[in-house]
Chains A and B, each alone.
Chain A
Amino acid sequence: MIEFNFGTVLAQWPMLLRGLGLTVTLTAFSALLGTLAGTACAWARLHGGPMLKRVVGAYVELVRNTPFIIQLFFIFFGLPSLGLRLSVEMASVLAMVLNLGAYACEIVRAGLQTTPRGQLEAAMSLALTPWQTFSRVVLPPALARIWPALVSQIIIVMLGSAVCGQISAEELSQAANLISSRTFRSFESYIIVTGIYLLLAIALRQLLYWVGPRFIFSSR
Chain B
Amino acid sequence: MVQFSLWDIFTFLLGALRWTAALSLIAFIGGGLVGLGLLMLRFAKLRGAATAVAWYVQIFQGTPLLMQLFLVYFGLALLGMDTSPLVAAAICLTLYASAYLTEIWRGCVNAIPKGQWEASTSLALNFTQQMRHVILPQALHVAIAPTVGFLVQIIKGTALASVIGFVELTKAGQMISNATYQPFLAYIFVGLLYFALCYPLSWWSQRLENRRLA
* A194 touches which of B61, B67, B195 (Cβ 8 Å): B67
Do residues B194 and A78 form an inter-chain contact, with CB atoms below 8 A? no
Which residues of chain B are within 8 angstroms of A73 by Cβ–Cβ distance?
170, 173-174, 177, 183, 187
Q: A78-B186, A190-B67 are in contact. List 15 more A-B contacts (CB 8 A).
A: A65-B194, A66-B195, A67-B155, A68-B156, A70-B190, A73-B174, A73-B187, A77-B183, A78-B184, A162-B67, A163-B66, A165-B66, A173-B67, A187-B74, A194-B67
Do residues B63 and A198 form an inter-chain contact, with CB atoms below 8 A? yes
A105–chain B nearest beta-carbon distance, Å? 14
Instruction: Report the bound CA distance from A74 to B157 in whole Å.
Output: 17
Select the stretch in B39-47, B106-114, B127-135, B159-167 that faces chain A: B159-167
Do residues B68 and A194 form an inter-chain contact, with CB atoms below 8 A? yes
Contacts from A to B (Cβ < 8 Å): 2, 61-62, 64-71, 73-74, 77-82, 155, 159-163, 165-166, 173, 176, 186-187, 190-191, 193-194, 197-198, 201-202
Do residues B74 and A190 form an inter-chain contact, with CB atoms below 8 A? yes
B60's nearest neighbour on chain A, judged by CB, is A198
Q: Is B137 an interface residue (CB 8 A)?
A: no
* A197 touches which of B63, B182, B198 (Cβ 8 Å): B63
B172–chain A nearest beta-carbon distance, Å? 12
Contacts from B to A (Cβ < 8 Å): 58-59, 61-68, 70-71, 74-75, 77-79, 152, 155-157, 159-160, 162-163, 170, 173-174, 177, 182-184, 186-188, 190-191, 194-195, 198-199, 202
B160–chain A nearest beta-carbon distance, Å? 6
Do residues A82 and B184 form an inter-chain contact, with CB atoms below 8 A? yes
Which residues of chain B are within 8 angstroms of A176 by Cβ–Cβ distance?
67, 70
Do residues B198 and A78 form an inter-chain contact, with CB atoms below 8 A? no
Do residues B67 and A70 form an inter-chain contact, with CB atoms below 8 A? no
Which residues of chain B are within 8 angstroms of A155 by Cβ–Cβ distance?
62
Which residues of chain B are within 8 angstroms of A65 by Cβ–Cβ distance?
152, 156, 194-195, 198-199, 202
Instruction: Decide yes or no: A77 and B187 within 8 Å by CB, A65-B198, A186-B74, A194-B71 being known contacts.
Output: yes
Do residues A163 and B190 form an inter-chain contact, with CB atoms below 8 A? no
